[in-house]
């Protein structure tokens, strides 16, 4: 090696060694040397920029990851809400059905044995002003045309159309096959028939009563059972007015039906029955004890 180059190399090595010793000594004292300071001045902005970019990228990745998690959580919550809403609807339906069954249980206890089908109203005829409605029981359930349809309040109507899984019911306000009726107080017989004028007022009439004294305002009218189509003792309605027929040979009574047709949700279809005297509901007012 050229002596000159050798001297230069040794000088550079000596300077480097001195710098290393200075840096080490400064590190031991907790201070930085001039070279470290120079490197710090140059590298600190670069390190700060790199750190900022890293934090930005990390935040954005965390945002998108969290966004996906929130989307999944939101979908799960929506599904839970739908399930809870369905359970609430089912609860309300079961509650209403249970209440209706309790009411019908009282009807069954006060009647002679009969075969029946409990049904739910599933549709109403919007073009019929006289409360024709559809129920969820049909021929597969043993339903037949002209079966009586009742509610806990009384006679609602008759089955006029039967499908496989549904039936249509026409109310007693419409023009039906005449139904045998009897005034509960006097036991005078008549026929329940539809009236085109009265039905618009939500009323019906019992024709062919023997006289005006056959019924009075407030009397209850029920089915007579004559003809064997309907069982006897089913409440039809309450007398609002008694008027003479045009020929003055008999009278008729204007009735307010016992059933509120606009609010029927459940009903009972009587498929078969054994005729006989129904067991009357005894009032719990102590009169039975006094009579005994």
Give a yes or no: residue 182 inside a domain: yes
Q: Which domain holds residue 220?
A: 111-274
Name residues whose C-beta falls within 8 Å of residue 110's C-beta, 6 or more positions apart in sequence.
278, 279, 280, 281
What does residue 146 show for φ and ψ, rounded to 5 degrees?
A: 75, 10
Give a yes or no: residue 44 inside a domain: no
Between helices 34-109 and 3-29, what is the axis angle to 10°? 50
pLDDT (0 to 100) of residue 279: 44
Confidence band for 139, pLDDT divided at 50, 70 and 90: very high
Average pLDDT over residues 100-118: 66
pLDDT (0 to 100) of residue 189: 94
Alpha-carbon 283 to chain mean position: 35
pLDDT (0 to 100) of residue 7: 63
Give a yes or no: residue 166 inside a domain: yes
Give a yes or no: residue 195 inside a domain: yes
pLDDT (0 to 100) of residue 147: 93
Contact present, 195 and 203 (Cβ < 8 Å):
yes
pLDDT (0 to 100) of residue 226: 84
What does residue 116 show for φ and ψ, rounded to 5 degrees?
A: -140, 170
For the ranges 18-22, 188-192, 210-214, the lowest mean pLDDT is seen at 18-22
The residue whose two tokens read 């040794």 is: 10
Confidence band for 283, pLDDT divided at 50, 70 and 90: very low
- Give the residue, 257 or 39, on which the prediction is more confident: 257
Please state, in angstroms and as integers, the Cα–Cα distance from residue 121 to each residue in 10, 48, 51, 67, 172, following that order. Answer: 109, 75, 71, 47, 16
Give a yes or no: residue 123 inside a domain: yes
pLDDT (0 to 100) of residue 93: 61
Assign residue 180 the CATH number of its domain. 2.40.10.340
pLDDT (0 to 100) of residue 223: 92
Confidence band for 292, pLDDT divided at 50, 70 and 90: very low
What would the DSSP string read from start to end of the chain? --HHHHHHHHHHHHHHHHHHHHHHHHHHHT---HHHHHHHHHHHHHHHHHHHHHHHHHHHHHHHHHHHHHHHHHHHHHHHHHHHHHHHHHHHHHHHHHHHHHHHHHHHHTS--EEEEEEEEEEE-TT-TT--EEES--GGGT--TT-EEEETTEEEEEEEEE-SS-EEEEETTS--S-EEEEETTT--EEEEE--TTGGGGT-EEEEEESSGGG--TT-EEEE--TTSSS-TT-EEEEEEEEEE-TTSSSEEEEEEESS-GGG--EEEEEEEE--SPPPPPPPSSSHHHHH-
User: What is the token pair recorded at 3?
Assistant: 């002596």
The whole-chain average pLDDT of the chain stands at 76
Indicate if the pLDDT at residue 73 is higher than 60.
yes
How many domains are there within the chain?
1
Give a yes or no: residue 127 inside a domain: yes
For the ranges 8-12, 108-112, 257-261, the lowest mean pLDDT is seen at 108-112
Give a yes or no: residue 267 inside a domain: yes
Give a yes or no: residue 62 inside a domain: no
For the ranges 106-110, 208-212, 224-228, 278-282, the lowest mean pLDDT is seen at 278-282
């Amino acid at each position: 090696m050229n002596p000159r180059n050798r001297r230069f190399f040794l000088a550079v090595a000596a300077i480097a060694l001195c710098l290393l010793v200075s840096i080490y000594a400064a590190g031991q004292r907790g201070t930085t040397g001039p070279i470290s300071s120079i490197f710090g001045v140059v590298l600190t902005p670069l390190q700060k920029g790199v750190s900022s970019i890293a934090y930005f990228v990390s935040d954005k990745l965390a945002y998108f990851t969290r966004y996906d998690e929130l989307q999944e959580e939101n979908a799960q919550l929506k599904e839970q809400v739908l399930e809870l809403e369905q359970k609430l609807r089912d609860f309300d339906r079961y509650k209403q059905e249970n209440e209706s069954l309790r009411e019908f249980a009282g009807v069954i206890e006060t009647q002679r044995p009969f075969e029946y089908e409990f049904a739910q109203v599933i549709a109403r005829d919007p073009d019929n002003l006289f409360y024709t409605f559809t129920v969820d029981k049909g021929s597969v359930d043993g339903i037949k045309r002209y079966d009586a349809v009742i509610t806990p309040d009384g006679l609602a109507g008759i089955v006029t159309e039967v499908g496989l899984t549904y039936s249509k019911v026409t109310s007693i306000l419409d023009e039906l096959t005449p139904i045998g009726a009897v005034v509960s107080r006097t036991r005078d017989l008549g026929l329940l028939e539809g009236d085109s004028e009265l039905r618009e007022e939500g009323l019906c009439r019992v024709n062919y009563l023997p006289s005006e004294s056959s019924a009075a305002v407030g009397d209850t009218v029920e089915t007579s059972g004559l003809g064997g189509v309907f069982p006897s003792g089913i409440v039809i309605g309450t007398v609002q007015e008694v008027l003479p027929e045009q020929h003055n040979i008999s009278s008729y009574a204007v009735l307010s039906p016992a059933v509120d047709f606009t609010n029927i949700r459940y009903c009972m279809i009587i498929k078969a029955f054994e005729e006989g005297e129904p067991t009357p509901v005894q009032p719990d007012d102590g009169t039975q004890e006094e009579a005994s």
